[in-house]
Chain A
Amino acid sequence: MAAWDLSVAVEDLGADAPPITVSVTSDLHIGGVILKLVEKSQVKRDWSDHALWWEQKQQWLLRTAWTLEKCGIQADAGLIFMPQHKPLRLGLPNGLNLRLRVCFSGTVFRTVLGICKMLNIRRPEELSLLRPVEEKKRKKVRDLSEELYDLTEVPLTSVSRPCLYNGMPAHFADSPKTEKVYKMLSVSQPAPAPEAIAKLYHPASVVDKAHIHSRWLDSSRSLMEQGVQENDRLWLRFKYYCFHDLEPKYDAVRLTQMYEQARWAILLEDIDCTEEEMLLFGAIQYHINKLSLSEPQTMTSSPAMDDLDSALQCLEVKLDGANSSPQDMLENLTAPELNDYLKIFRPKRLTLKGYKQYWFKFKDASISYYKSKEESLGEPIQQINLKGCEAAPDVNVAGQKFCIKLLIPAPEGMNEVYLRCENEEQYSSWMAACRLASKGKSLADSSFQSEVQSIRSFLAMQQTNPNTHTDDSMSINTHSLVSPRYSKKYKTKQLTPRILEAYQNVAQLSLTDALLRFLQIWQALPDFGISLVVVRFKGSRKDEVLGITPNRLIRIDLGVGEVVKTWRYNNMRQWNVNWDIRQVAIEFDGNVNIAFSCVTADCKIVHEFIGGYIFMSTRSREQSDTLNEELFHKLTGGHEAL
């Protein structure tokens, strides 16, 4: 066979270096070409990650046993010899950017597996990559902060089984720099400035939301094949909204990033919620922020250590208890109390009376009041049981007004009572006591002190006047906890007490529980998990919206936003894509057939969404940890997979 010259550019030699020319025959296999190439380059190094990329055809030549003839390569082919793993700038769900080395030659599905392994995110099939929304301005500002986090130095080979070292995967524990990256991944980010939220892109309409989904990369092709270049920016996001087997113990990063994605979806009004829900989301964010700041070490201490510690602590306590005298034990049985002069006002009775001062005693879950301290040994004027009551703040810090508004249930209805405290100190303790009592807990409850603390910090927040900026890192602008719509609607003075109110219901949660609660409420929103695509149904003249969710397809009227029809996957017989006319056809039980062409996204994306959700639903049943990649591609690949 005749030998001919094949020239190949070697990327590592630099863009200006001339291509290396090797003499080949058509029956030489690709591996042979590479061997010759390496010999001729005379560079001694590890070439194992390198492969040939065929520029004109935009494809990799990864089958080293194939001959040049079989690949259809002739002398005019523009080949580049380059590494398969290259750095990529990855936008994480938390809004930060991370530079890391990813695979450019395998399918995107594979690439995501690799990324998730590196980042220690389980269930990588739920995530995918998409092209970011272009940001035109402020680009330079961004670039500065972007390079903060870099994992490109981490050797790929070291990323294997996630064995924990110091509470983090071993490959993060190598240097302080990577440890910092892990912390960024596994601890939620502080609240953004309200101005920053307002500046970020947020979809204004259903069509805007639909456009986001046109950006997903094709899971069955490689990054290079989809035109992604070294150091390009891509976003990593949870794509399929069915989170399988969430286990806080192993899922520190996954849980945190999920929370971040949910939080941003809410702050940017990507998903709608009611005012009450927004305030609760705000309260949980506040709580999470606070906990993340105050206990950054939780992530690194292992659960076993915690158990041991608490067991030891328990032991100590009990031993103490054993040594204490019976007298003490008896005393422990009697609950602590609060005693003080407060003013009371009951709007229902003769209204003009106003506040009147009495000596108040708070014990167990009830308040009693007496004419004066001296009479407090006798019968109280009245005793009010607070169990089941609602305790709301009526506070104006600037005006030094510290009132507690109590709605106390009684057989005849709710009794309204106002207690007026003199100062913050008094207010904090009494309010905390009322709050605990409303849940049936007494002052002896261990949460009392933390309750007092949180009330104080909220009071402090109200003092933070926007004009006089205080640089207290713990104080958070409540406007950064809600979406711009509510920021505009309410002043800080109005917003803060309402968030505080919602906060009462979540203040006891641990960090993990708070994250989970946030996700739960997010998932309970009616619009949760719906990915929108603008489509045109066969036989219809107008564009409509197709909502794709974990268990069903929804047809939505574009004009009104009303759900017209839903089809559940478990009634689905089959679905086909006609790749020539780019039409998706689906058949459901009972001879229901629908067909549509996709307007805002490629039909491959729709196809992949449907197949992907069906793939996700097969997971729960098999229970095994191994990922059936083949099945995924079968369900999502389309004609290319065959």
Chain B
Amino acid sequence: MTHCRHFGLNTCYMDDIDAMFSDLLGEMDLLTQSLGVETLPPEPPSSSSKEMNFSMGFADMNVESLNELEENDLDALMADLMADLNDTEEKLGGQKEAEAPHTDLPPASHGFSFYPESSLSTPTSPERGPNTFSAPLADSPAPILSPPTLPQHAKLSMEEIEAQMKADKIKLALEKLKEAKVKKLVVKVVMHDGSSKTLMVDERQTVRDVLDNLFEKTHCDCNVDWSLSETNPELQLERGFEEHENLVDPLSAWTRDSENKVLFQERPDKYEVFKNPQNFYLWKKDKKTIKDMKDRDKELLVEENFCGTSIIVPDLEGVLYLREDGKKSWKQRLFLLRASGIYYVPKGKSKTSRDLVCFVQFDNVNVYYGKEFKNKYKAPTDFCFVLKHPQIQKESQYIKYLCCDDAWTMNLWVTGIRIAKYGKSLYENYKTSMKKAAITTAWTNRTAGTTSIPSTPSPTTKAKASGQANGHAPQPPAEPVAKVGNAPPPPPPMLPTQILPPPPPDPVLPPPPPPLANKKSPPATSVPRQLPSLPTSFPPSPTSMANLPPPPPSLSQDDSSESPPDFLPPPPPTLGFGPGAGSLPPPPPVSFLPPPPPDPGFPLPPPPPDPAFCPVTNRDSLPAPPPRQSNIGAGAPPPPPPPPSASAGLQSTPSVRRTGPPPPKRTTPPLAAPGGGDFMSELAKAMAKKRGNQ
């Protein structure tokens, strides 16, 4: 892996972009290929098949938007791509780790040196969400096993070994296939100052995740009003995304030639209902009562309406103007909001529930603010809102236009509809945002006070990594960490060299931390590398850390998105091939490597768990480590004690979420291993629970 190639990113022209991408894809493939690289010359055929997977992955990319990119976006974009690349590497890295002879500690090559990092960081794929933990654990069996078993392995029949390897590779290929199916979009976000940033967003990311990314990239105060919204110039609509939505979903509804934009801005209306619930729930009361509302009473209102067994929707009723289908006229009607939808009172009927006629239910529509409808549609006022299916992007009879007398009424209705539609999620989102905002403030204060960044080192990074895995629920501690992690892989290239013997040329670095990247491969990760011999290393001891240069403080501040291309991972030498040739990825070549003794130091990067059971694992995974360990004890060398804090692996404290600790391992054939860990732990958990119950 000594060979490396640089992309002349900064100099490339628009027209080249496609070519560049395909090139890059090829590179990624090669990297993923690296499985075999250490020991064997890579076999071209296999690689080509893999490459194909990747091209599939990117097929979904919004090419149009790519073309519109400005030059300076490219860096950021590349960074994102690299992050992706990294992910794949992580997986491979883990695998490789496992295969590498236990003793070869000073890694032979650079490529090696960074694997650990990757193993540290959690795999991106299917498991987003809290189950971070379980994933690494699941893998563990294989690695542990191997050191001791290696010799034994040798005794085993060659066929067995081969079969196992084969199975490994197939697994890997399948994983990549899955990963490749993840849809990703390149999104240009217009910032509040009119500038723009480009991000890569994959379909599993929630708006919250993307906001977190943007917080890292900009230096805003992270208050709860920051939001992402979409505009539709053709229909003159605007809507703030809710934080639990997956950003890719609404964006996929845009047409190819869409003028729509994503904005990053502060929207005070976003959570106004939680700050001043009386305006929404007591709107009938006189102004003075509302204004003089005590904080305690406000809290109580929120509690009453959002914390009960059922969410209470503000009971709105009032005369609104409705745009008649097809006609240019607006007609007044008395509308009522209920949890089940918007209703109107038909002519000559009463307001009693049974007489109400359903105007719209919320399952299939979103609510949008209309801009300047007075001009466009001859609306009575400019305070209009619209209900439509998110897919509809152009004028249509299926869009419902409503117009209010004043801005306040409009806000009341739009918020009321959001409460009815999203219910508890809205409140959950708000709470998450609050936490985030609070932590950020605390953190900035703290960093401002002490300049010593070294203290943040690896534990935090690890935390960061696991946080990522945890996915959308941004945990409090994650924030501070994020900054550090974010730091563009600082003097990265150098680091490895200093520490590790064979310093192959620069390339190996952890790619620049683009949004995705930071989370996935924290720069500081090189640390774990050092610890292979100390299985229990979990929070890396300060001493071990000591020899690592702490990420330079200044860097951490840096906007990572802009990190220079220099850090690109070196493409594996010989295996060059064009982008996306084949259609289905053939299983990786069978003949590859002898079963690699796993390095006990790291958990294997978990093969991306089957999405199907992720949900299960994430809930159950926590307690799992101890029981498992006991299982293991028998056959294998004393497994490293599970990291103490690991089991806590909840989201809350930085110390808790750690990725790195080598999970205790079991003696299982690798094939079964990845999944096996999971259900063993589930099983153990269930048993424990049962015992508890009795």
Interface residues, chain A, CB within 8 Å of chain B?
242-243, 246, 272-277, 280, 302-305, 307-308, 310-312, 314-315, 318-319, 321-322, 326, 329-330, 333, 388, 390, 409-414, 485, 505, 516, 519-527, 551, 561, 566, 570-571, 590
**Residue B451 CB within 8 A of the other chain:** no
Q: Are A276 and B361 in contact (CB under 8 A)?
A: yes
Knowing A274-B338, A388-B389, A409-B389, the reply to whether A307 touches B690 (Cβ < 8 A) is yes
A314 touches which of B315, B340, B613 (Cβ 8 Å): B613
A273 touches which of B167, B177, B312, B353 (Cβ 8 Å): B353
What would 25 A/B residue contacts be, using CB atoms closer than 8 Å? A274-B340, A274-B358, A276-B340, A303-B693, A304-B692, A307-B690, A314-B616, A321-B675, A388-B389, A390-B364, A409-B390, A411-B393, A413-B396, A414-B392, A516-B309, A519-B310, A520-B310, A521-B310, A521-B340, A524-B310, A524-B311, A524-B339, A525-B353, A526-B338, A527-B353
**Residue B158 CB within 8 A of the other chain:** no
**Residue B405 CB within 8 A of the other chain:** no
7 smallest beta-carbon distances between A and B, as pairs:
A413-B396, A409-B391, A524-B339, A411-B393, A523-B310, A272-B353, A304-B690
For residue A2, give the distance in angstroms from its CB to the closest CB of chain B: 64
Contacts of A319 in B (CB 8 A): 672
Binary A-proximity of B298-312 (CB < 8 A = 1, otherwise 0): 001000100011111
Q: Are B676 and A318 in contact (CB under 8 A)?
A: yes
Contacts of A280 in B (CB 8 A): 340
Give Cα distance in the complex from A520 to B284, angstroms.
25
Q: Are B174 and A411 in contact (CB under 8 A)?
A: no
Given contacts A311-B685, A410-B392, A561-B350, 6 further A-B contacts (CB under 8 A): A273-B353, A274-B343, A275-B356, A277-B353, A280-B340, A329-B170
**Residue B7 CB within 8 A of the other chain:** no
Knowing A523-B310, A524-B339, A526-B353, the reply to whether A413 touches B392 (Cβ < 8 A) is yes
Give Cα distance in the complex from A416 to B284, angstroms.
42
B358 touches which of A275, A329, A525, A526 (Cβ 8 Å): A275
Contacts of A525 in B (CB 8 A): 338-339, 353
Give Cα distance in the complex from A386 to B673, angstroms.
38
Binary A-proximity of B363-405 (CB < 8 A = 1, otherwise 0): 1100000000000000000000000011111111111000000
Q: Are B676 and A243 in contact (CB under 8 A)?
A: no
Most buried by A among B170, B391, B616, B694: B391
Please give me the residue from chain A that is nearest to B678 by CB atom: A318
Give Cα distance in the complex from A166 to B389, angstroms.
50
B679 touches which of A305, A315, A570 (Cβ 8 Å): A315
Knowing A311-B682, A311-B683, the reply to whether A523 touches B309 (Cβ < 8 A) is yes
Knowing A321-B675, A388-B390, the reply to whether A326 touches B354 (Cβ < 8 A) is no
Give Cα distance in the complex from A246 to B682, angstroms.
27
For residue A618, give the distance in angstroms from its CB to the closest CB of chain B: 13
Contacts of B680 in A (CB 8 A): 315
Give Cα distance in the complex from A392 to B350, angstroms.
30
Give Cα distance in the complex from A390 to B364, angstroms.
8
Q: Are B391 and A411 in contact (CB under 8 A)?
A: yes
Most buried by B among A303, A308, A326, A413: A413
Most buried by B among A276, A333, A527: A276
Q: Are A413 and B309 in contact (CB under 8 A)?
A: no
Give Cα distance in the complex from A322 to B587, angstroms.
16
Please give me the residue from chain A that is nearest to B289 by CB atom: A590
Knowing A280-B340, A485-B354, the reply to whether A551 touches B304 (Cβ < 8 A) is yes
Q: Are B255 and A411 in contact (CB under 8 A)?
A: yes
Give Cα distance in the complex from A390 to B253, angstroms.
16
Contacts of A315 in B (CB 8 A): 679-680, 682-683
Give Cα distance in the complex from A522 to B393, angstroms.
35
Binary A-proximity of B593-627 (CB < 8 A = 1, otherwise 0): 00000000000000000000100100000000000
Q: How many residues of B contact A (CB 8 A)?
A: 64
Binary A-proximity of B658-694 (CB < 8 A = 1, otherwise 0): 0000000000000110011011101101110110111
**Residue B564 CB within 8 A of the other chain:** no
For residue B338, give the distance in angstroms from its CB to the closest CB of chain A: 6
Knowing A311-B679, A311-B686, the reply to whether A411 touches B394 (Cβ < 8 A) is yes
Contacts of A322 in B (CB 8 A): 671-672, 675-676
**Residue B532 CB within 8 A of the other chain:** no
Give Cα distance in the complex from A280 to B340, angstroms.
10
Give Cα distance in the complex from A302 to B174, angstroms.
38
Give Cα distance in the complex from A312 to B685, angstroms.
11
Query: Which residues 163-190 in B have Cβ within 8 Å of A in the complex?
Result: 167, 170, 174, 177-178
For residue B173, give the distance in angstroms from its CB to the closest CB of chain A: 8
Give Cα distance in the complex from A590 to B286, angstroms.
13
Please give me the residue from chain B that is nearest to A562 by CB atom: B351
Q: Are A307 and B392 in contact (CB under 8 A)?
A: no
Give Cα distance in the complex from A181 to B396, angstroms.
58
Contacts of B170 in A (CB 8 A): 326, 329
For residue B636, give the distance in angstroms from its CB to the closest CB of chain A: 19
**Residue B313 CB within 8 A of the other chain:** yes
Contacts of A310 in B (CB 8 A): 686
**Residue B195 CB within 8 A of the other chain:** no
Q: Are B358 and A388 in contact (CB under 8 A)?
A: no
A308 touches which of B255, B309, B613, B687 (Cβ 8 Å): B687
Q: Are B689 and A520 in contact (CB under 8 A)?
A: no
Give Cα distance in the complex from A231 to B159, angstroms.
82
Q: Are A570 and B391 in contact (CB under 8 A)?
A: no
B315 touches which of A274, A412, A526 (Cβ 8 Å): A526
Contacts of B683 in A (CB 8 A): 308, 311-312, 315
**Residue B341 CB within 8 A of the other chain:** yes
Please give me the residue from chain B that is nearest to A272 by CB atom: B353
Contacts of A275 in B (CB 8 A): 354, 356, 358
For residue B321, give the distance in angstroms from its CB to the closest CB of chain A: 22
Contacts of A520 in B (CB 8 A): 309-311
Please give me the residue from chain B that is nearest to A319 by CB atom: B672
Q: Are A505 and B310 in contact (CB under 8 A)?
A: no
Contacts of B339 in A (CB 8 A): 521, 524-525
B686 touches which of A276, A304, A330, A551 (Cβ 8 Å): A304
Knowing A333-B174, A409-B391, A570-B297, the reply to whether A276 touches B341 (Cβ < 8 A) is yes
Please give me the residue from chain A that is nearest to B339 by CB atom: A524
Contacts of B313 in A (CB 8 A): 524
**Residue B157 CB within 8 A of the other chain:** no
Give Cα distance in the complex from A413 to B392, angstroms.
5
Q: Are A318 and B393 in contact (CB under 8 A)?
A: no
Knowing A318-B675, A319-B672, the reply to whether A307 touches B389 (Cβ < 8 A) is no
Contacts of A272 in B (CB 8 A): 352-354
Please give me the residue from chain A that is nearest to B610 by CB atom: A321
Please give me the residue from chain A that is nearest to B253 by CB atom: A411
Give Cα distance in the complex from A570 to B282, angstroms.
13
Please give me the residue from chain B that is nearest to A444 by CB atom: B612
Q: Are A414 and B693 in contact (CB under 8 A)?
A: no
Q: Are B167 and A326 in contact (CB under 8 A)?
A: yes
B398 touches which of A414, A524, A561 (Cβ 8 Å): A414
Most buried by A among B308, B311, B394, B692: B308
Give Cα distance in the complex from A327 to B394, angstroms.
45
Q: Are B352 and A314 in contact (CB under 8 A)?
A: no
Q: Are B675 and A413 in contact (CB under 8 A)?
A: no
Contacts of B392 in A (CB 8 A): 409-414
Contacts of A388 in B (CB 8 A): 364, 389-391
Please give me the residue from chain A that is nearest to B675 by CB atom: A318
Give Cα distance in the complex from A326 to B587, angstroms.
9
Give Cα distance in the complex from A462 to B174, angstroms.
46
Give Cα distance in the complex from A277 to B692, angstroms.
42
Contacts of B340 in A (CB 8 A): 274, 276-277, 280, 521, 524
Q: Are A307 and B689 in contact (CB under 8 A)?
A: yes
For residue B627, give the distance in angstroms from its CB to the closest CB of chain A: 12
Query: Which residues 567-593 in B have Cβ within 8 Å of A in the complex?
Result: 587
Give Cα distance in the complex from A507 to B450, angstroms.
57
Contacts of B364 in A (CB 8 A): 388, 390, 409
Contacts of B398 in A (CB 8 A): 413-414
